[in-house]
Structure 1
Amino acid sequence: MKRHEALHPLSHHHHHTLVMAQQLKNADQKGSIQKMTRDVIDFWKYDGEDHFRDEEEVLLPLFAQYQAVDIPEIREMLIQHVQIRSYVQEIRGGQCKDRQIFRNLGELLQKHVRLEERVIFPMIEQTIPENYLYQANGRFHRDSYSGF
């Protein structure tokens, strides 16, 4: 899917999120719960948390200047942010003995990225003037995988 270049950093984060989601969805008896826990904590610490801030503190407030954000798609996006944070906090607590939480988080991450890439970002690209999208880009964090 062709994405406006100002949103490339966020889409790049989404790619890494989908990789993590696939690993979590495939959580089986062979993988170590400790390793999966470390992977989730590192993912969140180095990219996930900042990515959500980019969307909530930079992108959505900018979008709100041009269109009402009290719409079902934005509500769903933000609800998913809360649910993902909840899973991460539960996993961080270190008491996870059931692999199902990792599979649930993987499913939700995949669903979330699809919502943003297929619905939210196209709305944003159509609504926000290009020069303001470029200005927002300068405020996005760079991911830990590539620095993009």
Structure 2
Amino acid sequence: MKKPIKRHEALKPLSREHHHGLLLCWKIRQGVKLDVNMARIKSYTDWFRRHYLDPHFEAEEKYIFPVLGNDHELVKRALAEHRRLKRLFNQEADLAIAMNSIEEELDSHIRFEERVLFNEIQAVATEEQLADIEKHHNGIQFSDDDWKDHFWQN
């Protein structure tokens, strides 16, 4: 069994946000398994993107990725995946394909960031850079309690 990753305090809020992204993937999988109308799932993913994913990507791109620089191979990959995910979230046609792609690609992207990219950032970041991350991003508080359609519980 793998040893849990010891995440620096400055990166923990982003890791918590990743947890909610993985929960989104699970909710999409549940919705598909329960044969929920794709428009209902899309409605939730649109809400999630606006409130959580867009601000999360923005924080990573503004405060985290600069530690390695946009020309770093791992950052280039993460940025390309951000662009691809944004396109998938904005897709209005072929919703079943889009939802399945979001579920697979977001899950894969989060695992890449947690297991590879964040470890590299944590290894090279200076205390000053980590303090700067902590100062500018202390996490997005997640709650979907007000969301009425819990399609994943059908």
TM bucket normalised to smaller: 0.7 to 0.9
Cα offsets for 1:49-84 (capped at 9, x unmatched):
0111111111112333xxxx4233222111100100
**Counterparts of 1:34 and 1:111, CA distance in 2:** 23
Does 2:68 correspond to 1:63?
A: yes
1:128 is matched with which residue: 125, 130, 140? 125
Aligned to 2:76: 75
Report SS of the residue matched to 1:96.
coil
Of 28-37 and 43-52, deviating more is: 28-37
After TM superposition, the score normalised by the length of structure 1 is: 0.83
Report SS of the residue matched to 2:142.
coil
RMSD: 1.9
2:140 is matched with which residue: 140, 143, 148? 143
Of 70-79 and 135-144, deviating more is: 135-144
Aligned to 2:39: 34
Identity of aligned residues (%): 25
| Contact persistence 2:21–2:106 (CA under 8 A) | yes
1:13 is matched with which residue: 12, 17, 23? 17
User: Aligned residues, how many?
Assistant: 138
How much has 1:96 moved relative to structure 2?
3.5
How much has 1:29 moved relative to structure 2?
5.9
**Counterparts of 1:99 and 1:111, CA distance in 2:** 18
Q: CA 1:98 to 1:53, structure 2 compared with 1: closer, same or farther past 3 Å?
A: closer
Q: CA 1:29 to 1:100, structure 2 compared with 1: closer, same or farther past 3 Å?
A: farther
Cα offsets for 1:25-49 (capped at 9, x unmatched):
4424621222211111111111100
How much has 1:141 moved relative to structure 2?
5.9
| Contact persistence 1:6–1:137 (CA under 8 A) | yes
2:6 is matched with which residue: 2, 5, 9? 2
Unmatched segments (≥5 aa) in structure 2:
144-154
> What letter matches 1:73 in structure 2?
L
Unmatched segments (≥5 aa) in structure 1:
none
